[in-house]
Amino acid sequence: QEYTALKLKVLEWAPKAAEKLKGKLPEGANVFLVPATLRPETMYGQTCCFVGPSLSYGVFKAAENEYYVITERAAKNMAFQGAFAQEGVIEKAADVLGSDLIGTLINAPLSFHPQVRVLPMDTVLATKGTGVVTSVPSDSPDDFAMVTELAKKADFYGIKKEWAELEVIPIIQTPTSDLLAPYLVKKLKISSPKDTKQLLEAKELAYKEGFYQGVLKVGDFKGEKVEVAKPKVREQLVKAGEAFAYCEPENKVVSRSG
Ligand code: ZZB
């Protein structure tokens, strides 16, 4: 599985993360949360970034003054894909729990919302991608269901309501909608992130319709089909130093979609 790994620069740590990282990183180090995505063409619509609150993450050195927040499992894979200074070697500067990261302010490349927050999502899998997921509620039913839930129960989740209420902007037009995920969530009567079965169906429908029939409404490739624009957006992000390819050894992966 080839993902695009996106670099979301940390602008301001949540207090708990700041405490845990104190003295462990060089002054002025650039740290990035690095989600793995299959949909680089949707990055215009990022509204937050999810971590699993109970998952363990590491802060791994990628280059001089540059660090990635990802799972150890992902770091081990990246070390063999030229992402770090030395082939096969990982250098962990600190440990941090997903829950410590909640509320961290980050930069989201290409997004209409350049500054977004790290928010919790219980269904993030430690065994897939980097354990960090960028959220695009306009085109991912899981993400739309989760941000809706977070806004509804902000206190319960220990977040500020407004962090989950960033405007969901249409970015891809398909024959049925320009907000495909909210449309499918409504149509399949999904009322919470716990509606696993319907969410899986919605995700499959969204992937298919988005990929084969979607047309970008925004950005440099506005008017182009998703199929065509996807590699172009990816290339643009890579050239800007904001993303890189990340591959997953298939046999080790537990995929929700099988
Ligand atoms: C942004 C995005 C925008 C995504 C979209 C999807 C969609 P899969 O196997 O089919 O779910 N993801 C990545 N890592 C994890 C993880 N560890 N746990 C849970 N979810 C994860 O494909 C991977 C997609 O699942 C990734 O692409 C990521 O969300 C999420 F508009 O990134 B995506 C219809 C889907 N639309």
Q: Where are the domains of the chain?
A: 2-251
Segment 88-116 mean pLDDT: 98
Task: Tell me the CA–centroid distance for residue 162 and ligand 1, in Å.
Answer: 23
Q: According to the 3-state scheme, what is the secondary structure of 136-166?
A: CCCCCHHHHHHHHHHHHCHHHHCCCHHHHCC
Q: String of b and e for 131-158 (b: at least 16 CB within 10 Å)?
A: bbbbbbbbbbbbbbbbbbbbbeebeebe
Euclidean distance between CA atoms 165 and 167, whole angstroms:
6
Q: Where are the alpha helices (DSSP H) in the chain?
A: 15-21, 72-79, 98-101, 141-152, 154-157, 180-187, 196-213, 226-239
Q: String of b and e for 224-258 (b: at least 16 CB within 10 Å)?
A: bbbeebbebbbebbeeeebbbebebeeeeeeeeee
Residue 255 pLDDT greater than 80, yes or no: no
The 10 Å Cβ neighbour count of residue 181 is 28
- What's the confidence (pLDDT) of residue 258? 39
Q: What is the mean pLDDT of the chain?
A: 96
255 or 225, which is more confident? 225
Which helix (DSSP H) or strand (DSSP E) does residue 115 occupy?
A: strand 115-120
List, in sequence order, every residue forming a beta bridge with 58; answer none if it has no partner: 70, 95
Mutate to test the pocket of ligand 1, among 43, 55, 121, 128 (most ligand atoms within 8 A of CB): 128
Segment 134-163 mean pLDDT: 98
Contact 34, 245 (CB under 8 A): no
Contact 84, 62 (CB under 8 A): yes
The 10 Å Cβ neighbour count of residue 210 is 22
CATH superfamily for 2-251 is: Valyl/Leucyl/Isoleucyl-tRNA synthetase, editing domain (3.90.740.10)
Identify the band that residue 1 occupies on the pLDDT scale cut at 50, 70 and 90.
confident
The 3-state DSSP class for residue 82 equals coil
* Backbone region of residue 252 per phi and psi (left: phi > 0; alpha: psi in -120 to 50; beta: other values): alpha
The 10 Å Cβ neighbour count of residue 29 is 16
Task: Tell me the CA–centroid distance for residue 133 and ligand 1, in Å.
Answer: 7
Task: Tell me the CA–centroid distance for residue 145 and ligand 1, in Å.
Answer: 13
Residue 52 pLDDT greater than 90, yes or no: yes
Mutate to test the pocket of ligand 1, among 37, 48, 226, 255 (most ligand atoms within 8 A of CB): 37
Instruction: Give the tokens for residue 161.
Output: 């309501």
Segment 1-26 mean pLDDT: 97
Report the pocket of ligand 1 as residue ranges, CB < 6 Å.
Answer: 36-39, 42, 124-125, 128-129, 131, 133-134, 136, 139-140, 203, 206-207, 255-257
List, in sequence order, every residue forming a beta bridge with 244; answer none if it has no partner: 5
Query: Locate tokens 């003054």: which residue?
Result: 65
The 3-state DSSP class for residue 42 equals helix
Chain segment 165-206, per-residue pLDDT in tens: 999 999 999 999 999 999 999 999 999 999 999 999 999 999
Instruction: Give the tokens for residue 226.
Output: 């998703």
- What's the confidence (pLDDT) of residue 256? 52
**DSSP code for 18:** H
Mutate to test the pocket of ligand 1, among 51, 123, 140 (most ligand atoms within 8 A of CB): 140
Euclidean distance between CA atoms 69 and 9, whole angstroms:
10
Task: Tell me the CA–centroid distance for residue 93 and ligand 1, in Å.
Answer: 27
- What's the confidence (pLDDT) of residue 251? 57
Chain segment 204-248, per-residue pLDDT in tens: 999 999 999 999 999 999 999 999 999 999 999 999 999 999 999
